[in-house]
Each structure stands twice: as structure tokens, then as C-alpha cells.
Structure 1
Amino acid sequence: MKFNYLAVIGVTTATIMSCTPAKKEYASYELYPVRSGSLTEMEYTPVSTKFSLWAPTADEVRLMLFEAGEGGHAYETVPMILGEEGTWTVAVDKDLMGKFYTFNVKVNDKWLGDTPGINAKAVGVNGKRAAIIDMKATDPEGWENDRRPELKSSADIILYEMHHRDFSVDSTSGVKNKGKFLALTEHGTLNPDKLLTGIDHLIELGVTHVHLLPSYDYASVDETKLNDNKYNWGYDPQNYNVPDGSYSTDPYNPSVRIKEFKQMVQALHKAGIRVVLDVVYNHTFNTSESNFERTAPGYFYRQKEDGTFANGSGCGNETASNRPMMRKYMIESVLNWIDEYHIDGFRFDLMGIHDIETMNEIRKAVDKVDPTIYIYGEGWAAEAPKYPADSLAMKANVHEMPGIAAFSDELRDALRGPFNDDHKGAFLAGLPGGEESMKFGIVGAISHPQVNNDSVNYSQAPWALQPTQMISYVSCHDDMCLVDRLKSSIPDITPETLEQLDKLAQTVVFTSQGVPFIYAGEEVMRDKKGVHNSFESPDSINAIDWRRKTTNGDVFMYYKRLIDLRKSHPAFRMGDAELVRKHLEFLPVDGSNLVAFRLKDHANGDSWEDIIVAFNSRNTLAKLSVPEGKYTIVCKDGIIDSRGLGILYGPEVSIPAQSALIIYK
């Protein structure tokens, strides 16, 4: 039944959709109705725009129409009508292109305040109002022909974690669109010494995936004051399905951020690089004023026994992925980023807050589109979530989530030292005790007969079914970057030793069977001046100084050749647990701070028959017994050359201090 509200509210073209009985009271959140079909909240045509909002406990819902993305008052207020499945709808029969809108929900006689909805696809400056635009018009030229680069196996992935500002904002980057999405579309950018920066640097380095720190619309940076250089990593979700305006060239124009994000993805794809989006569905920036809370109070968050908000994120709230509408929302959001923006992978922040079933449903939905889209996350939470531990997507439960990976803090902390003490070192500092945890990481967190899990830090059992479910890394945006951590844990470290240990650390990462991951700038030995948590430090702390590519050219070349070595030799990326158990054999060593393994019998079809890899963090030469034979050296003394650096003969070889040795038959 349709109503014309001309006589009532003076809106000449408002058409109200189906009218059904008033809202219901629900005994628990589990009994809330689930909206079938898409959660789309705005469907535009030049003749009529339909608005809908899932707000099952609302007394009333109003649609507010605005001329601009900020400032001024609504020029029309349109009542909405409650229909099926707790969804309120209204159609406005006029051309609304270029207008902005919000919803205002009344619950228990209280108006909750304006919200762009939970599912806005375009917004004005600072994301307070949703925008009505033509999404098709945001497609860059040739977008319909954009294809994700080929990926034969997840074992072939090399992840490069990047923050937009860090990567290009420094004057030494040579980039025009500094700190913007468009920075990654500029070819030919150079540092002051004419060395490649920007996207050409990524191509030169050889990474396969760029992992972008949160790039959706987040709340902590005021898009109207970008000249203030306010910085944040972006783990402050506001609108999950819109690119952030601070990385666009015009945050006031809703179409610009969308088009420029797509141009960035398109440029990376043309360069042969896939794009991973860091997604933060586990919490929102604020709670009472969030879009979720202003739409269906309480529903989208977990609560403690006393009714207060649970805080598994450590940020004031934790979302309830286990509730059907939150689960549905997450799945649709991921699929939207794939469909609209051609995203190739997702990194889930504090994945351990989400439930296993939701993560598996996301994997299942993504597989229907493209099973090569990679999904991984942090297998932990900041505090214990309010949900049964055995049902959470924690690292220990990764074996229950085939096709989803998690970061290995076992390998990370075995190399650099514990996450809760920046001053304490581990293997890289020459301290004993981390060798078994390194072995755990080298095999990819799978079951292996030579790994004594009782001696592994954090995990006393393998948690991965396949090695591609483990992310191998030594540092990321969180905590200190590698250079700072080495300086902090080895106070008297010399520049020479710093370089040696930096190379040693990454050699472990890239010769392990997990999926390797590096933090942007590590390849040029970036530092953050010792800042442990730089999430809102200024550019002077976070920006990569691209002159370091000149001064640390030797380190960059080592990383580049290390990546090439992994790409060229499938023994380092078998991607199958049975193959790893069959072909990867740890060699016996005398004493501590020495770990060695053999990749035998043309592992994974490799052209090299036997490969020996050894890591020595002692400050003295180490001896290692190996099978007899003639070996070609490809890595020694901080130099890598697949063509060969010389010849060694078994049954005993020497590994120089604080370095890696790789030899093959």
C-alpha cells in the first residue's frame, strides 16, 4: 500500500513503500529479524530513489536530505515506514543526483542522531553524510578490462605492508601526489640520487601483493584540515565501504576518492601486483555515536554480563560477528570491495575477535568469486572477547579455517624477542632458547616430526593445516620496526652488525615455508626513531626517507635477490604440508644460536637436488656437518647471487658469524 504525504509533510514527490505494523520488542539480540537480500540502503534512478534501513527496534525513522556533504540543515525530512524484516523504506520520486542524506532513528522516544547508515557506498567530507552519485561514473578508463594478476598458488605470495603517507609523503620520494592513492599510479619517480621510488620501486623489489593499511573511511583524521598533517594508521572505522577522503585529492567530492582508489588498484594490477585491504570489522572508532549504534542499539556489539560493552579490541567495543546481521554485513562488505574495487586479498585486524563460522562463511563466499583471493589476519585479540574461546578465529583455531592464514608471532619473537619488552632480544641478539620456535616457523606452523612443540613459544601444538596458513615475518607497522628493535635489544650494535642481522632476519623469513611478509621500507633499513607505537606520530617519524635506498643500496639488493631466490626455487615455497614433511629435514647442530635445514631430493620439483640453509647468530664462525658432496654457494657473508659465489665441499662447512649460508648441489 502506498501513501502520498503531500498534504502531511509538503514533500511533493515522496512515495512511502509498504506499511506494516509497528516495531516489535525482542527478548534477545538473537531473535532480531534478518534482512534478506542485499543490505543496500540507497538505490538511485533519475526518476526515483529508494532508501531502506534495517532498524528493527525503531519507533520512527526519518530520512534527511541535504544539498552539501557538511554544514547547513536538511532541506527535506521524509518519514520512513516499517516493512518486513525490521526494514524501514521510502522512495523519493525526484532526481536526487548529487544530493546527500542521513537517517535519524528514534528508539524508546529518543532520537539517536544523524547517521549515513551502516552501508554507505559514497560519503561527503569526513563521512557524516552519505552521497548520491553514479558509481559507474567513478570507473577509470579501461576499468572493465582490469584483471587481477595471475597467482598459481598462495605459496607464491610476497606481502608488502604499506601506509599511504609513509610510502610517498617524504620530499625524497619524488612523488607528486604525496600520501595519496594516486601516489601508486605515478611511474618514473626517483629519489635525489635517481634511484626508483613509488610503484617502480615495488616492481624492482619483486613483491606480489601490496598490503594497504586501512584505506576505508576512518574517523581520526579531519579531512577538512589536511594541511595540519594529522596522522593515523586508520584503525578507527567509520564507514566500512568507502575509501578514506584524506588519501584523495578532493575529500569534498564523493566521487573523487572512489575513482582515485580504483586508479591505484588498476595501476598496481598493470604492474603485476595484487592489492590487499586491511579490514577492521572488529570494532568501531566510537560506540554510542557510531553508525551501528545509531541504527540498531546494542545489536552490532557484544556486551558484558552487566550490559556494558565488551572490549576485546582494547578500543572501547567489540563487534558481534556471531550475530546474523553482523555476519551478513561483513560478508557483503568484503564482496563489495572485490566487486566494486577489484581487491585481491584481505587482512583482518584482531581476527581473534571474530567467530570461526563467520570467517569460514567469508572464505566460502569469496571462493565463489575467486579462490586465489588471499585472506589472513591477526589470530589474537587485545582482551578476551565475550564469546567462547573455542569458537573464535584465534591462531590456535586456524586449523578449523581452511584457506585462512594467521601471523606467526612464534617465529617473529623467536627472532627479535618478546612483543612485551622492546629491550629484550632473542636469536638475532645471540640469545639461546628460540631455536625450536624458529623451526616451528620455518616449516609453516604445521606438524613436523622434527619440531618439538613443547619447546615452542606461545604454541605447544601446530595450528596450520598447510604452510600457506602461516604468515612469516619479523616486524610490521605494530611495535618497533626491525632496525629500531635491533638497536633497542642490542644497545651497542654497530652499523655493520645491524646490517648483518637485518639480512639474517629476512633470510629466515623468505626461506621459511610460510607466506613471507615485510614492512614497507625495511628493504632500505627504515627506522622510526625508536618509537614503539607510531599510530599517530607525525610524518617525521613515520615517513620513509628514500635517501636510504642510496645509503643502504647493499641491503636493498640483498632483499631483491632474496625475493628472486624464493621466486626462482619452488623448494622454498612448497605450499603443501606433506611435501614439507617429506623434503624439509633439520640438520643436527652443536650448541645454540645455530639452525640449519636441508631441502632434499629436488623438493617440489626444484632444479637444485639438495639445498642447505643455515642461520648463525653467534658472533663467531660456526661449523656444520652436511652430506658429502660438492656444493655451490648462493648466499654467504650478506651477499646473494643465484649464479654462484664459489664452491664448498662436505662433510663439513663453515657459516660466518651473524649471517646465513645457502648452498646447493
Structure 2
Amino acid sequence: MKIKHYIVAFFTALLCSQNASAQQKFNEVSYSPSETTFRLIAPNKPTLRLYDAGTGGKAYKKIKMEQSGENTWTTTVKGNLKGKFYTFDIGHGETPGVFAKAVGCNGIRGAVIDMKETDPTGWNIDQRVPTKSPSDLIIYELHHRDFSIDPSSGLVHKGKFLALTEQKAIDYLKKLGVNTVHLLPSFDFASVDESKPNTPQYNWGYDPLNYNVPEGSYSYDANLPTRRIKEFKQMVQALHKAGIRVILDVVYNHTFDLKNSNFERTFPKAYYRYKADGTPSDGSGCGNETASEKTLMHDFMLESMKYWVKEYHIDGFRVDLMGVHDIQTMNDIRRELNAIDPGIFIYGEGWSAGTCAYPHDKLAMKAAISQMPGIAAFSDDIRDALRGPFSDDKKTGFLGGIEGLEESLKAGIAGMIAHPQVDYSKVNYSKKPYATEPTQMIAYVSCHDDLCLVDRLKASIPEAEYDENELIRLDELAQTAVLTSQGVPFILSGEEMLRDKKGVHNSFNSPDSINHLDWNNLKAYPQVFNYYSGLINLRKNHPAFRLGSADLVRKHLEFLPVQKCLVAFRLKGHAGGDKWNNIYVILNANPELRTVNIPKGKYTIVCANGEVKESGLGEMEGGEVTVDGQSALILHD
């Protein structure tokens, strides 16, 4: 027994030592009122420059750093440097380093601050919202500017982090019922000029500059390094107080550019992948791709995500183009975040945007999710089964009456796990189950990228463009499939108010007139909001819709015979301890009514004809059940 304890103690100490080493590696600035130590990992001797301001002016001091280890350089400056700015330079241009935790305007220079001064009152007792299972999450993808910029929002802090601290915003999210907000990139990105806060500028933010600092354009003063940090924390704190989790969208797969990036200016070629001919690989589709399998990039990703968790109390991460990263790195991230809080959720895009300079079978693609326990991937299977293929906006799917996609929809409803009633040879993309557990699948029909749901329906189904009632029916039917699936449901902000983006496919830098949420739609289409809210609360109140376990799904989820453009299923035997015994969900995408046979008996209708009411819309007898066209029927005994 003693030998076993010694072995455990040895490896625990070794792991702690490795973690401490990695943290030390990227702790580029250690501040105290009496002195500040600067550290950099670089191949050549760096020059440290100190400035009085975040932009403009000349350095008031230049210091040649001293070698303190292999590729490690340090220097300690006496005196109180709080409020000063710095850069490193190894001969490739000035940079705030790879792990700046505070920066000046436009992220050009790092800032020396006392991080404790950025904590809002009560931050020491702020906690991540507890999560029993990822199946309990209902994710709402949100862009700071989209959500609050329009006058119709009635929000004061338009386009800012603080918009999500306002009671109106909090009340709205709670009324809708979502319990997790997925924030589009909120770290410091390159494409918006923070020095011009009154000039309308727009970008999604998938152009990383400084990964570990909040974006200055979402703050009220990008020139004051502490302000963006404090306001971001205030936002997280307000959402946590409301019981809403915060997911951060992280973009480690590429940088805004390669040559002028902080990575390249700090340690050339150590963070990126290159093809055999020496040119940069471009699996991101953005001109470069990072190399997560290389030690510095691997460790950077781990320490960056841990930093957001510890310093900003983040509840989870959405990993952009996760398929560019290697499986081992993603598993290492999962393991290290588990040590902090196993409830931290990780999911990502299980694909890349181009060919990567790394073996395909080692990349964190959707097909490899079974090799990554505790990590989820978006399901393009259920998305495209419902609305049509990503490759052609004009083509429709199940919603448009296209036969042959029923099995793909069934696979999505089951959470992309192995299920005896799902024939994967008939599934559109995944020819075998990619998820080991249903919580490894993100169920969705639209997100920020690609056409939003309303625009896709109008583009692919001519009748929906001219018939508003049909548009609403199909919109609601789509989200019924998403919110009653066994995966983790995900909706784009504004879908609940029938949002559109004027048909713009890739609105990453489109103006507010395209991307904003028009809150007037809530008055114009109250039935859509009520339907979404009703479905969300139905899911939250009934564990049968979120079993969270593949074994439980196989035990309790039973599909009824498929009809053309009709999928129906039963959640049987008080699934997951549900108070309802048998729950039937029927999704009919046909324009005409259809009939489905269920066992005889008395049933309570909770969803029909675009209305959801958990206490019941009425009762009906079993046997031959009629379902209206382009609608869902949910009933229970």
C-alpha cells in the first residue's frame, strides 16, 4: 500500500510540476508594487521597451533581457510600473508577447496592471453555474453587437459587454428559458479599430490578436486596460447571478495574419504548420493554421483556456474549427479542465475549412468524437437533414418535403449514437455513429455562420418566402426537432423573434442593418417567441427529452414507423424519471395532414398547431392520430 501511495504522490507531484512549468512559461508579466518581472519564451535575446501610453510616443526605457533557461529570457524592473505599457522585440517587430493579460488600445502594447483591481464587488464569491449533465444545457449563441445595438432593444449599453448586465436583457433570457449563453469571440481581435468607438464597425471577431484579453470595442474605454477586463467580469457575474452559464467562442486554429502575429514575432515557426514545400498550411481557410501538436501551441491552448476559467469564471468553450487541432491536445484540455471543474463544457466544429498539414486521422474531426470523451461536436447531419445541404442554399431538406432524409433526422434525434432503429447506411453524412454519448452532439439548424433559419427557408422553399404563415410553421417545426432531440440543443439569438439577415450568407463584416436583432419582431410575431419559450421549458421540465446517457436513450427512445417526411418517436416508461409515462413526438413536414397509429388510451396534448402548453391544450384518444401539415404534435399519457 505504501508503494502505491508513493507512486500516486510521485505522479501527482510530476503533473503539478508540469502544470506549474507551463503556467510559468506563459506568465510573461509578474507585477508587484515594488517590481515587475518580464519573461518571454523566444529563440533570440529580446529587447523590452517600456512606454507611458498604449499608443504613440517613444519608449522611455529599453532593456536587453537576460537568458534564464533554454529559450527563456527574463528581466526585473524595480519600482511601481502599474499603468505603464510594454513590448518585446526579438528583431521581427514589437509585440506584447503571446500571453498578454492586459493591453492598450488596439492591442499594440501590453499593459502592466494589478489584476485584483479589475474584480467587481462580490467577484470572489462568483461561481460557475453547476451542471449535472451537458444534456441540461440550452445554448443561445449571441454576438454582443447584434443583441443590443438596435434602438428597438431598449438596452442602454448598446454593443457593449455591459448590455448583458442590464435587467431587461437578463429578464429576456430568463423568460425565453435559455440557461447558457454562447458568446461569439470576445477576446481582443484585429479587425475593429478601437480608437474610433463612435464609428460603426462590425466583425464577428474570428481574427485573433491577443487571445487572453477581452475585446476593447465592447468596452467603454479601450484606452484604459483595466476597464475592458472589469466590464467583462461584470457581464459574467450578472449572467451567473441569473443562473445563466457563459460559453466563450475560442479561435485557436489561426491568427489574423501570420507574419505580423504575436506568435511569429515571438518565436518564428513554432506555432504554425507548414507544408512540405515550406509554405504555410491553410486548413483554416484564413491564410494560416496553428500547430496544436507543437509544444508551444499545445501548452498555449491549455494555459489560455485554464486562464479564462480561473480569471473570468468561464463555464465552457466552443472551439472554432476544432478539426484543425489534434485529438491529443483536445483530450489534454478536457483532462486539465476536469481537474478544475468537470462541468465545464467543451464543444466545437468537427471539421476544418481546408486540408491541414497533419495526418487526418489524428485531427479532432467529428468522426473522431468517440476518441474524445467529454467533448461534443456540431451535427451537420441533423442540420442539413432539416433544412438542406450546406453546399447549396437553394436546395431544401425534410422541411421542404424532400423524401429520404428521415433516417438522418432520426440519427440526430437519438444524439448520433448507435441505436437499433437507426440505419446509418441511410444517414446523409455520418455512415456510423460518431457519438458515444448523446451529450457529444450539438443539435442545431442554424448559427451565426451560413444563412440564418428564416433566410434559408426563404431561399430554399419558394412558398415560405411569400407565405408568412408557412414560414412560421416550418421555422417552429425545425426547432421542435432540435429541442426534443437527445443531443445538446443550440439556437442562434434572434431566431425566437423570426430574425433575418436580408439573405446575407456570410455576414461577418456586414453592417448593423444586416446583423442587428429587430426587437420590434417580438410584437409582430409573439407566437414565435411563445412557441420557442414553451418548447425550451418543456425540455427543462421533462428529463425524458434530455436523458444524457446512450444506454438510457436506447432503453427509452423508440421510433415509430417512418412515413415520407414524417418522423415520430416515443419516450417510454417514465424516461429519465419523468412524471409522464409515454411521450409521443410527431414531426410532419408534409404540407398535408398525416395520420399516425399509437396505442389506444387517453392522451394530453401539449404541443399542436404552433402552440405549446405544458399543462395541456386538450385531450384526445389514441389509435389513429391526425397531425396537421408542417407542424409538430406532442402528447403524453
TM-score category, normalised to shorter length: over 0.9
Change (3 A) 1:238 1:134: same
Letter in 2 for 1:134: D
Q: Which residue of 1 aligns with 2:15?
A: none
The percentage of counterpart residues that share the same residue type is: 60
Task: Please say if 1:42 is aligned against 2:13.
Answer: no
Q: What corresponds to 2:206 in structure 1?
A: 235
Q: Give the length in aligned residue pairs.
A: 615
2:603 and 2:635 in contact (8 A); partners too? yes
How far, CA to CA, are the matches of 2:558 and 2:435 in structure 1?
A: 19
The match for 2:276 among 305, 313, 332 is 305
1:624 is matched with 596
Contact 1:35 1:87 (8 Å CA) reproduced: no
Structure 1 position 489, deviation (Å): 0.5
- 1:642 CA drift (Å): 1.1
Aligned partners of 1:199, 1:607: CA distance in 2, in Å? 30
In structure 1, runs of 5+ residues without a counterpart are 1-33, 106-110, 190-197
**Which residue number in structure 1 is paired with residue 587 of structure 2?**
615
Q: 1:570, 1:476 → 2: CA distance?
A: 25
Write the distance in 1 (CA, Å) between the matches of 2:41 and 2:428: 45
Deviation at 1:595, TM superposition (A): 0.4
Query: What residue is the counterpart of 1:596 in the other structure?
Result: 568
For 1:94, the equivalent position in structure 2 comes to 79
Give the residue type in structure 2 aligned to 1:80. Answer: M
Q: Larger deviation: 646-655 or 482-491?
A: 646-655
> Is the 2:96–2:109 Cα contact (8 Å) retained in structure 1?
yes
Q: Distance in 2 between matches of 1:97 and 1:147?
A: 28
- The reply to whether residue 491 of structure 1 matches residue 477 of structure 2 is no
Counterpart position of 2:444: 473
TM norm structure 1: 0.92
Equivalent in the alignment of 2:118: 138
Shift of 1:628: 2.1
1:601 CA displacement: 1.0
Query: Deviations 1:30-61 (Å, cap 9, x if unpaired)?
Result: xxxx9674410011112211111000x21x31
User: Could you say which residue in structure 2 is the equivalent of 1:269?
Assistant: 240
Would you say 1:147 and 2:127 are equivalent positions? yes
Q: How does 1:163-182 map to 2 (within 5 A)?
A: 163-182=143-162
2:506 maps to 1:526: no
User: For residue 470 of structure 2, what is the amino acid of its counterpart?
Assistant: T
Shift of 1:571: 0.5
One-letter amino acid of the structure 2 residue matched with residue 520 of structure 1: S
Deviations 1:271-319 (A, max 9, x none): 1101000000000001000000001111100000000100000001110
Contact kept in structure 2, 1:148 and 1:342, CA below 8 Å: yes
Contact 2:22–2:299 (8 Å) recurs in 1: no
Partner residue in 2 for 1:388: 359
The whole-number CA distance in structure 2 between the counterparts of 1:647 and 1:334 is 50
**1:87-136 deviation line (CA, Å, top 9, x unaligned):** 1111111221110000001xxxxx20000000000000000100001100
Which deviations, in whole Å up to 9, do the C-alpha atoms of 1:147-206 show, x marking residues without a partner? Answer: 12232221100000000000000001111110000001111x3xxxxxxxx221101111
Return the alpha-carbon distance in structure 2 between the equivalents of residues 431 and 379 of structure 1.
26
Give the 3-state SS of the residue equivalent to 1:585 in structure 2: strand
Assess, with a 3 A threshold, how the Cα gap between structure 1 residues 35 and 633 changes in structure 2: closer, same or farther.
closer
Query: How much has 1:349 moved relative to structure 2?
Result: 0.1
- Contact 1:35-1:85 within 8 A present in 2 as well: no
Superposed CA deviations along residues 6-34 of structure 1, whole A, max 9, x for unmatched, are xxxxxxxxxxxxxxxxxxxxxxxxxxxx9
Tell me the amino acid that sits aligned with residue 517 of structure 2: I
- Is it true that 1:114 corresponds to 2:94 in the alignment? yes
- Secondary structure at the counterpart of residue 262 of structure 2: coil
Give the whole-Å Cα distance in 1 for the aligned partners of 2:118 and 2:595.
61
Out of 74, 80, 88, the residue aligned to residue 65 of structure 2 is 80
Report the Cα offset of residue 437 of structure 1: 0.5
Measure the CA separation in 2 of the matches of 1:200 and 1:236: 32
Distance in 2 separating the partners of 1:446 and 1:492? 35
- SS at the partner of 1:115? coil
1:540 deviation in Å? 0.4
Query: CA 1:283 to 1:625, structure 2 compared with 1: closer, same or farther past 3 Å?
Result: same
Q: 1:578 aligns with which of 524, 547, 551?
A: 551
Q: Distance in 2 between matches of 1:47 and 1:633?
A: 70
Cα displacement (A) at 1:553: 0.5
Say whether 1:635 aligns with 2:596.
Answer: no
Which residue of the partner structure matches residue 6 of structure 2?
none
The structure 2 residue matched to 1:457, chosen from 419, 422, 428, is 428
Q: Say if 2:290 is the partner of 1:319.
A: yes
Q: Distance in 2 between matches of 1:457 and 1:385?
A: 24
Q: Matches of 1:447 and 1:576 in 2, distance apart?
A: 12
Contact 2:129 2:315 in 1 (8 A): no
Report what 2:10 is aligned to.
none
Paired residue type of 2:411: F
1:194-343 matches, within 5 Å, as 198-343=169-314
Q: State the SS of the aligned residue for 2:156.
A: coil
Q: CA RMSD in A?
A: 1.0
SS in 2 for 1:368: helix
Runs of 4+ in 1 over 6 A off after TM superposition: none
Q: 1:320 to 1:87 in 2, by over 3 A?
A: same
Aligned match for 2:474, one of 483, 501, 521:
501
Aligned counterparts of 2:379 and 2:22: Cα–Cα separation in 1 = 38
Aligned position for 2:322: 351
2:83 and 2:618 mapped to 1: Cα distance? 67
Q: 1:522 to 1:165 in 2, by over 3 A?
A: same
* Residue range with higher mean Cα deviation, 118-127 or 87-96: 87-96
Q: Alpha-carbon deviation of 1:448?
A: 0.4
Q: State the secondary structure of the residue aligned to 2:540.
A: helix
2:285 counterpart SS class: coil
Higher mean Cα deviation, 580-589 or 240-249? Answer: 580-589
SS at match of 2:311: helix
Residue 627 of structure 1 and its aligned partner are, at CA, apart by 1.8
Given that 2:399 and 2:474 are in contact with CA atoms closer than 8 Å, whether structure 1 keeps it comes out as yes
Aligned-partner SS, 2:615: coil
Residue 185 in structure 1 maps to residue 165 in structure 2 = yes
The 3-state SS of whatever aligns with 1:534 is coil
Conservation of the 8 A alpha-carbon contact between 2:253 and 2:325: yes
Which secondary structure does the structure 2 equivalent of 1:500 belong to?
helix
Residue number among 498, 511, 518 corresponding to 1:545 in the alignment? 518
Assess, with a 3 A threshold, how the Cα gap between structure 1 residues 35 and 514 changes in structure 2: closer, same or farther: closer
- Alpha-carbon contact 2:142-2:183 (below 8 Å) kept: yes
Choose 300-309 or 624-633, whichever is displaced more.
Answer: 624-633
Partners of 1:603 and 1:445 lie apart in 2 by 19
Which amino acid letter does the alignment assign opposite residue 629 of structure 1? G
Q: Is the 8 A contact 1:35 1:325 kept in 2?
A: no
The range that moved more, 490-499 or 475-484, is: 490-499
What 5-or-longer segments of structure 2 have no aligned partner? 1-20
Q: Secondary structure at the match of 2:635?
A: strand
What amino acid is aligned across from residue 157 of structure 2 in structure 1?
N
C-alpha distance in 2 between matches for 1:304 and 1:629: 65
- Note if 1:52 corresponds to 2:32: no
TM-score with structure 2 setting the length? 0.96
Where do 1:422-433 residues align within 5 Å?
422-433=393-404
Question: Residue 51 of structure 2 aligns with which residue?
Answer: 66
Q: CA 1:37/1:250 → structure 2, altered by over 3 Å: closer, same or farther?
A: closer
In the alignment, the residues of structure 1 paired with residue 99 and residue 299 of structure 2 have an alpha-carbon distance, to the nearest angstrom, of: 12
Partner of 2:484: 511
CA–CA distance in structure 2, aligned partners of residues 343 and 248 of structure 1: 18
